[in-house]
Structure 1
Amino acid sequence: MTTLGVEEEYLLVDPVTGLPRPMAVEVKAAAGADEVTERGEVQRELLQAQVEVATPVCAELAEVGGHLLRLRHAVAAAAEDAGCRVLASGAAPVRDGQGAPVTPERHFLRLRGRRGRLVDEQLVNGMHVHVGIPDRAAGTAALNRVRAWLPLLVAMGGNSPMWCGQDTGYASWRTIVESRWPVSGPPPEFADDADYDARMRLLVDVGAIEEVGQVAWEARLSHRYPTLEVRCCDVQLTADDAVMFAGISRGLVATALREEADGVPLPDVPQELLNAANWHAARYGLDGHLIDPPGRRQRPAGELVGALLDHIAPALDEHGDTREVTGLVERFLRTGGPAGRQREALADGGLPMLLDLLCLRHAGR
């Protein structure tokens, strides 16, 4: 059984105006004291208006969902006690020119000194799925195969259409914000794990980044755990949507590992095409057509989602995830992607309804 775990980042805001509020210390303290959280599951993030939660290592998707609901409830309750709200939005829907102060920890402050204004504007939140791998060699081989599917996950997971009080026209504005960092976007192809490690060292040696943890590729080998980390999706509105992407991510990695073992030829996906497909996915989400990098053409978004499910079907069966994932995908497509749901809420009830949609207390399942 391939293990997995999920990290989610959330935004702390004023309960009325929706403006970011630097309340992470208070919220983390309150959530950490709650009996439903355990040590290390609620963490501070780069900015003081953000918090992060991390599930334990899980074997079943039901475990992932249970932990996410527990942690979402704990953080939402702690935020209310502290006088703010916590939002599951990929980007701050409203903000002022001040941004949010940096968390006063040494590595965060160093990053602010090196990256300047980029850090001030990093009011974006993602979800990261850690999928267990046998070793770094297998993980690198899997990464080479998973990368072609990342734009589709970006399109499906876009939950950040609003920024500074305006509709950006993008499904995932977070993807655009993240693309401004020195090492970001879809990862390149690697010869093997030695090549992967050598290129990480080179980036640090030339001063492009200060540590390998600053590699912001949309999928990478974790520098802390024996996992392949899929990190291309915005944080999701609901725990169910997060579980869906966790199951898809595990299916992709497990399929990649099996194909590598079976000697299936690696898809030829030029980096420039993958980058273009990623931008296109962030812009349009599931509306209309998406670029299929291996097929080198545009295809209807729904058709590509079907191709994804076909691709990972044996892995879903192997892990007992078929019914859960296919059912969640069907519901997801019926209700529309989260970017569309944000726009509908704003059109129907203005900012108050949008904040209600995004609030963890209401998002729940």
Structure 2
Amino acid sequence: MASVGVEEEYLLVDPVTGRLMPHAEKVRAAAGLEPFVAAREIQPELLQAQIEVATPVCHALDEVGGHLLRLRHAVAGSAETHGCRIIASGTPLFREDTPVPVTGKTRYRIMQRQAPQLVAEQMVDGMHVHIAVPGRQAGVEVLNRIRGWLPTLTAMAANSPLWDGRDTGFASWRTVVFGRWPVSGVPPHFADERDYDARIRRLLSTGVIGDAGQVYWQARLSERYPTVEVRCMDVQLRADDAVMFAGLLRALVDTAVCEAWEGRPVVDQHPELVQGAMWQAARHGLGGELIDTAGRRRPAGDVVSGLLEHVGPALDAAGDTREVTALVHRLLRQGTGADRQRRALAEGGPDAVLALVVEASGTP
């Protein structure tokens, strides 16, 4: 059973207007979390109205949930002290009249010079899950075997339907915004570890990206840890939904490692089909049909059930079956974060959406 860690990104907003507030530096300083040890519990993000937190390495889902609640509570309390609130939404609720300032790190300043409009519109927040793998070659095997499931995970995690104060028509608009960077989207198929590393080196040699951190594939090998990092999910309104994804992804990676060890062939998935499946997932979330790993258009609930069946043995081995399946069934009944935001918008307008995301995100 692999270890797992979760990173979450939050937006800082005015509690009355919902507008972004560039107070990240003050909130980080007052949160009482450790920014320097290996865990790096709290970190700056690209824009000064964003904060990222990271759990330590965890071995059980209750550890993941406990750390996420602790981190959310600490950041939310610090934000309230400075007159703002955190929201765990993939996109902000309202248009900003002026660009949010960029955090004063050299690499962020370089990114702003290279792509000013993309940076100005990078007000998007995700969750990233790191799952340990037994070496980089195993990690490449995992990437090849999970890439077809990334659209399903994106649909389940959709929590960014609004942009500029209105419904975009997409369940995960964050996926669309983030897909505009030069190296983004579903990762390609790799021959082996050497092929993966050679492609990264070639990308860096072009100067189109400044460092390996700008390889924004929705799943990639971590450059800092012996992990596969899955990045396709919007940040979740509720911490227990983030726990659900941690359990699902660990089971998905463990399943891929077992398949590789047993020598099972990788299913050939054409890149244009996987990319089309990702667009479909971002557009509809769980509210329509999805494209499954075989390239078939099917009801979203059936595709999610197929994912549970695929990872069932790994969930059993980790002791996570009951918790993860219960949370998945709740998701299918109640809808995604995007569904909840849209219901609030229909019932009470923008103020109701703001109240929903502030309360659900863990503000004390």
TM-score (norm 2): 0.97
Residues 279-358 of structure 1 aligned to structure 2 (within 5 Å) = 279-292=279-292, 294-358=293-357
CA offsets 1:310-335 (integer angstroms, 9 cap, x no match) = 00001101111111100111111111
Residues 233-272 of structure 1 aligned to structure 2 (within 5 Å) = 233-272=233-272
Equivalent residue of 1:228, what SS? Answer: strand
Q: How far apart are residue 352 of structure 1 and its match?
A: 2.0
CA offsets 1:159-184 (integer angstroms, 9 cap, x no match) = 00000101001000000000100000
TM-score (norm 1): 0.96
Answering whether residue 82 of structure 2 is matched by residue 82 of structure 1, we say yes
The residue type paired with residue 215 of structure 1 is V
Equivalent residue of 1:154, what SS? Answer: helix
Q: How far apart are residue 362 of structure 1 and its match?
A: 5.5
CA offsets 1:141-192 (integer angstroms, 9 cap, x no match) = 0110010000001111010000010100100000000010000000000000
- What is the CA–CA distance in structure 2 between the aligned matches of 1:357 and 1:363, rounded to whole Å? 11
Q: How far apart are residue 61 of structure 1 and its match?
A: 0.5
Q: How far apart are residue 38 of structure 1 and its match?
A: 10
**Is contact 1:20-1:95 (8 Å) kept?**
no
Q: Which residue of 2 aligns with 1:63?
A: 63
- What is the CA–CA distance in structure 2 between the aligned matches of 1:208 and 1:362, rounded to whole Å? 36
Give unmatched runs, 5+ long, in structure 1. Answer: none
**Is contact 2:344-2:352 (8 Å) kept?**
yes
The residue type paired with residue 300 of structure 1 is P
How many residues align structurally? 362
Equivalent residue of 1:359, what SS? Answer: helix
Answering whether residue 43 of structure 2 is matched by residue 51 of structure 1, we say no
Q: How far apart are residue 97 of structure 1 and its match?
A: 3.4
Answering whether residue 31 of structure 2 is matched by residue 31 of structure 1, we say yes
Q: Which residue of 2 aligns with 1:119?
A: 119
Q: Which residue of 1 aligns with 2:175?
A: 175
Q: Which residue of 1 aligns with 2:106?
A: 106
Q: Which residue of 2 aligns with 1:204?
A: 204
Equivalent residue of 1:312, what SS? Answer: helix
Q: Which residue of 2 aligns with 1:2?
A: 2
- What is the CA–CA distance in structure 2 between the aligned matches of 1:360 and 1:345, rounded to whole Å? 13
Q: Which residue of 2 aligns with 1:224?
A: 224
The residue type paired with residue 327 of structure 2 is L
Answering whether residue 138 of structure 2 is matched by residue 138 of structure 1, we say yes
Equivalent residue of 2:56, what SS? Answer: coil
**Is contact 1:32-1:38 (8 Å) kept?**
no
**Is contact 2:86-2:363 (8 Å) kept?**
no
Q: Which residue of 2 aligns with 1:42?
A: 42
**Cα pair distance change 1:39/1:129, threshold 3 Å:** closer
Give unmatched runs, 5+ long, in structure 2. Answer: none
Equivalent residue of 1:344, what SS? Answer: helix
**Is contact 1:32-1:39 (8 Å) kept?**
no
**Cα pair distance change 1:29/1:271, threshold 3 Å:** same
Q: How far apart are residue 257 of structure 1 and its match?
A: 0.4
- What is the CA–CA distance in structure 2 between the aligned matches of 1:197 and 1:32, rounded to whole Å? 38
- What is the CA–CA distance in structure 2 between the aligned matches of 1:300 and 1:96, rounded to whole Å? 37
Answering whether residue 358 of structure 2 is matched by residue 359 of structure 1, we say yes
- What is the CA–CA distance in structure 2 between the aligned matches of 1:58 and 1:334, rounded to whole Å? 29
**Cα pair distance change 1:362/1:10, threshold 3 Å:** closer
- What is the CA–CA distance in structure 1 between the aligned matches of 2:295 and 2:77, rounded to whole Å? 47
- What is the CA–CA distance in structure 2 between the aligned matches of 1:30 and 1:360, rounded to whole Å? 21
**Cα pair distance change 1:203/1:33, threshold 3 Å:** closer
Q: How far apart are residue 360 of structure 1 and its match?
A: 5.5
**Cα pair distance change 1:266/1:39, threshold 3 Å:** closer
**Cα pair distance change 1:322/1:95, threshold 3 Å:** same
Q: How far apart are residue 364 of structure 1 and its match?
A: 7.3
CA offsets 1:175-214 (integer angstroms, 9 cap, x no match) = 0000100000000000000000000000000112111110
Q: Kindly report structure 1 stretches of 4+ aligned residues shifted beyond 4 Å.
A: 360-365
Q: Considering only aligned residues, what root-mean-square deviation do their CA atoms show, in Å?
A: 1.6
The residue type paired with residue 154 of structure 1 is T
- What is the CA–CA distance in structure 2 between the aligned matches of 1:81 and 1:104, rounded to whole Å? 23
